[in-house]
């Protein structure tokens, strides 16, 4: 059994925020896998799906970003899922918008959701880093991630989440490099190989 976790903040006011792209990815995976509706569990919302050959729990922590580890830790302990079988989908400031990179372990790079999970579970979980770009100035980061994706960004966001969902079987099989490549090629084919950050020249 695997645990796929999307990071975000609960509440309608946060739904379309850049910080919530992890929630968007998990919801897309649930739709693609025809999972049952999410229900309240583990200080979050969870459902179960068969993805590829694997049984996968899909989880959206409802603890707010800074306490994501509380939800992930409870789910992992209850379900006896080791840290290496946890896959976390999150926004990544250090990647250009629309880019996706896989990583296992490492630091939190200022991401409070990742930091919280590492505190509860250790850092050796798999990360699906979904690029949203950087506003260019550190002082602007907080407002940037808690702002909604703009109209001009919504197409690439939807395409990226769709590609993540359609290729999630590769993640479930542990083929992280192949998954990353499939998403990259899909974004390229859709015309999103060079997405500019809002306001960038």
Distance, in Å, from the CA atom of 155 to the CA atom of 177, rounded to the nearest integer, reads 24
Alpha helix ranges (H) inside 59-198: 68-79, 112-121, 141-145, 154-166, 168-172, 176-189
Examine the residue annotation and report whether 19 is marked as an active-site residue of this protein: yes
- Tell me how long the chain is: 201
Q: Going by DSSP bridges, is the β-strand pair 86-92/44-51 parallel, antiparallel, or unpaired?
A: unpaired
Exposed/middle/buried for residue 195 (C-beta within 10 Å: 0-12, 13-18, 19+): buried
DSSP class of residue 22 equals: H
Annotated active-site residue in 19, 90, 111, 134: 19
Residues forming the active site: 19
């Amino acid at each position: 059994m695997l645990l796929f976790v999307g990071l975000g903040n609960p509440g309608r006011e946060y739904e379309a925020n850049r910080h919530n792209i992890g929630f968007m990815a998990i919801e897309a995976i649930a739709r693609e896998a025809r999972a049952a509706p999410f229900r309240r569990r583990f200080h979050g919302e969870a459902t179960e799906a068969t993805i590829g050959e694997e049984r996968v729990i899909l989880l959206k922590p409802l603890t707010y970003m800074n306490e994501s580890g509380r939800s992930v830790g409870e789910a992992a302990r209850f379900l006896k899922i080791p840290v290496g079988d946890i896959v976390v989908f999150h926004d990544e400031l250090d990647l250009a918008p629309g880019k996706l990179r896989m990583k296992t372990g490492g630091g939190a790079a200022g991401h409070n959701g990742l930091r919280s999970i590492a505190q509860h579970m250790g850092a050796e979980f798999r990360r699906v880093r979904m690029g949203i770009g950087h506003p260019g100035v550190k002082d602007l980061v907080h407002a940037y991630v808690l702002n909604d994706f703009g109209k001009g960004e919504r197409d690439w966001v939807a395409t990226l989440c769709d590609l993540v969902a359609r290729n999630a079987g590769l993640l479930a099989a542990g083929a992280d490099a192949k998954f990353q490549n499939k998403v990259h090629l899909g974004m390229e084919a859709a015309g999103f190989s060079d997405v500019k950050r809002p306001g960038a020249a």
